[in-house]
Structure 1
Amino acid sequence: MNDVPEDGAPPSGPPWIVPEIQQKIAWRDGDVVISVPIKSGTTWTMNIVHQLLTGGTDDFRDVYEEVPWIEFLAFPGQPQEVVVERVTAMPTNTRRAFKTHSPPPAVPFQSVGSGTDVKYVVIMRNPEEALVSFRPFLNKHSDAWYELWGVPREALCRPDFPSFYSDVIDANGMQGAIFGFLAAWWPLRNEPNVLFLHFSDMKSDHQGSIRKIAEFIGEELTEEQWANVLEFTSFPWMKANEGKFEGRTASEIPILNSGAMIRKGAVGEARMDGMTEEISQHLREVGGQICPDPVAIKWVYEGGTLLN
């Protein structure tokens, strides 16, 4: 297996993800940035924030219309300004929320007192679980989408997890997409406008986690609204309405085949999905090189209370 790149930097992503777009956004007071690495609860958190900002609603077509992905291009050659203009054109009488897979500095961090009140909801997941979930997700991207971008399916897809880890993750230094993300956000975890949550803790305490996010972003709901939010953010409801979470309005070309976004979100089942002891040890070794703080590494694997 390959060694981690010397600089430990996260690798560049697929061509439809262009993090530099985010540098051009004019942030507003009240904005919520949902910053989550690959396959770590992004779509779920997008829906949670959307539900909290609206008081709980099932009246939306596509969560990507409501919570734009601010580093995403819909087709090769799409001007970055189109993304920026769409964000700028969002109504000023309601709060905005955005998705990003980038940590700072790729997504600009507005510290408290900088003049703009932006909140950052940062979710992380056990790296083993995230990576075993990443393989079927890439497999469920449509042929049309890969063809549009000139990316051969075999460049990102494999029939089993060991070959996926060796040929796609390790060969491209993609461990940095998780551990580089952790290393970038970890020093900011105690900032007053940053909320760190672990996917496993969110799964074990659905209501408590959503209330924590609501308190953090400053949204108060009625009991009726709470009931709606809890229903519409539940796994059964999202699975039954998965068409609302597959980015169908993000491009004229289908990005995903059905069932790609809302998979199972299980905790503690990485071994069942192909993770081996050898890969597990290698992943943790590489992760420790990218993010050498043992407290951060322990937390990203196990969750629980954040330590200062």
Structure 2
Amino acid sequence: MSNIMEEDSPTAGPPWIQPEIQQMIEWRDGDVVISVPIKSGTTWTMNIVHQLLTGGTAEFRDIYEQVPWIEFLGYPGQSHQDVVDRVAAMPTDTRRAFKTHSPPPGVPFQTAGSGKDAKYVVVFRNPEEGVVSFKTFLDKHTDEWFNLWGMPREAMCRPDFPSFYSEVVDGHGIQGAFFGFLAAWWPLRHEPNVMFIHFADMKRDHEGSVRKIAEFLGVEPSNDQWAKILEYTSFPWMKKNESKFEAITAGKVPILDSGAMIRKGQVGNARADGMTDEVSRHLREVGSQICPDVAAVNWLYEGGKLP
């Protein structure tokens, strides 16, 4: 398959990602949509939201059972309706949370007060870190998964980062998955049912970030619950229990090798993973064409106070 990521589309992807499914979902009051670019803190945020909504629990097998990926197919031929039916069958006595790599309009956005009271937790990460992490993540996809979809590993993987960037990322316009995502969400950043948070700020202040998300979601855990929530959302606990975060139930065959989701969780380490000066310059140049707002791009790279 040659077309991995469509240029100019922050939502297009490999055949197992089908953003149009999200248009079929019947939303409920209280739904939480976790919208994050690829390799930008998605799994961590999924777990944070799950822990906040449950008051802190270690009793789950796979975070993808608790927080479904609403644009994902587990095998070729799976119908979109299968995904929609699973979402509809989730219990009505607890709030639902979902993962998506789509910004609006790929994932439907509802202004607060206009219909169902959904909330959107939108996480961003320095795109240099996201791109280098994306290479390692693709490398850790299993042969069984590629074979299931009839896709040669060579379509998405390369032996070194510079060739991965030039042939896969730049060759298929994957910069849009970061900067197009930013451009789509940026005008909505101050909507009352939207929360922007940056991966670097989450790393700088784990507890403070979790408490901000709790306040945004309107949940008030007890002191005992807080102790569990903070433990279960810590990097050491998640690394120790990484099988809970590797999408073991999401596909018909294993999707990932062990260690693909919970790697190092570091900030400012893109160079150690292969980023070069040349790629860094090109990534920002292309990204600034996709999203011309200088303040937005600066915030994407640095985090901190939201403009």
Q: TM-score, structure 2 length as denominator?
A: 0.97
Q: Which residue of 1 aligns with 2:257?
A: 257
Work out the CA distance in 2 between the residues paired with 1:107 and 1:11: 9
Three-state SS of the structure 1 residue aligned to 2:190 is coil
Structure 1 distance, partners of 2:183, 2:219, is 29
CA-based RMSD: 1.2
Counterparts of 1:10-29 in structure 2 under 5 Å?
10=10, 12-29=12-29
* Structure-2 separation of matches of 1:11 and 1:29: 25
2:241 aligned with 1:241:
yes
Aligned to 2:231: 231
The aligned counterpart of 2:58 is 58
How has the CA–CA distance of structure 1 residues 105 and 163 changed in structure 2, closer, same or farther, with 3 Å as cutoff?
A: same
CA contact (8 A) 1:8 1:289 kept: no
Q: Distance in 1 between matches of 2:204 and 2:189?
A: 21
Contact 2:11/2:102 (8 A) holds in 1: no
C-alpha contact 1:11 1:172 (8 A) present in aligned 2: no
Q: Distance in 1 between matches of 2:11 and 2:123?
A: 20
CA distance in 1, matches of 2:52, 2:127: 28
- Equivalent-residue separation in structure 2 for 1:281 and 1:228 (angstroms): 42
Confirm whether residue 304 of structure 1 aligns to residue 290 of structure 2.
no
Give the stretch that moved more between structures: 203-212 or 111-120. Answer: 111-120
Q: Which amino acid aligns with 2:52?
A: L
1:236, distance to aligned residue in structure 2 (A): 0.4
Secondary structure of the corresponding residue to residue 130 of structure 1 = helix
After TM superposition, the structure 1 = structure 2 runs for residues 1-308 of structure 1, keeping only pairs within 5 Å, are 8-10=8-10, 12-307=12-307
Q: Do the aligned partners of residues 253 and 119 (structure 1) sit closer, same or farther apart at CA in structure 2, a change above 3 Å counting?
A: same
Offset at residue 159 of structure 1 (A): 1.6
Cα distance between partner residues in 2 of 1:166 and 1:257: 25
Letter in 2 for 1:160: D
Report the CA distance shift for 1:6/1:147 in structure 2 as closer, same or farther (over 3 A): closer
Q: In 1, Cα distance between the equivalents of 2:10 and 2:50?
A: 28
Q: Distance in 1 between matches of 2:252 and 2:287?
A: 37
Aligned-partner Cα distance in 2 for 1:279–1:11? 23
Paired residue type of 2:58: D
Contact 2:11 2:103 in 1 (8 A): no
Runs of 5+ consecutive residues of structure 2 not aligned to the other structure: none
Q: Which amino acid aligns with 1:175?
A: Q
TM-score by length of 1: 0.97
4+ aligned runs moved over 6 Å, structure 1: none
Deviation at 1:251, TM superposition (A): 1.7
**Residues 104-126 of structure 1: CA distance to partner in whole angstroms, max 9, x if unpaired?**
00000011121210000000000
Tell me the alpha carbon deviations over residues 1-26 of structure 1, each in whole angstroms, 9 at most, x when there is no partner.
xxxx9984336201000000000000
User: CA distance change for structure 1 residues 195 and 24 in 2, over 3 Å: closer, same or farther?
Assistant: same
Counterpart residue identity of residue 63, structure 1: I
What fraction of aligned residue pairs are identical, expressed as a percent? 72
3-state SS, counterpart of residue 220 of structure 1:
coil
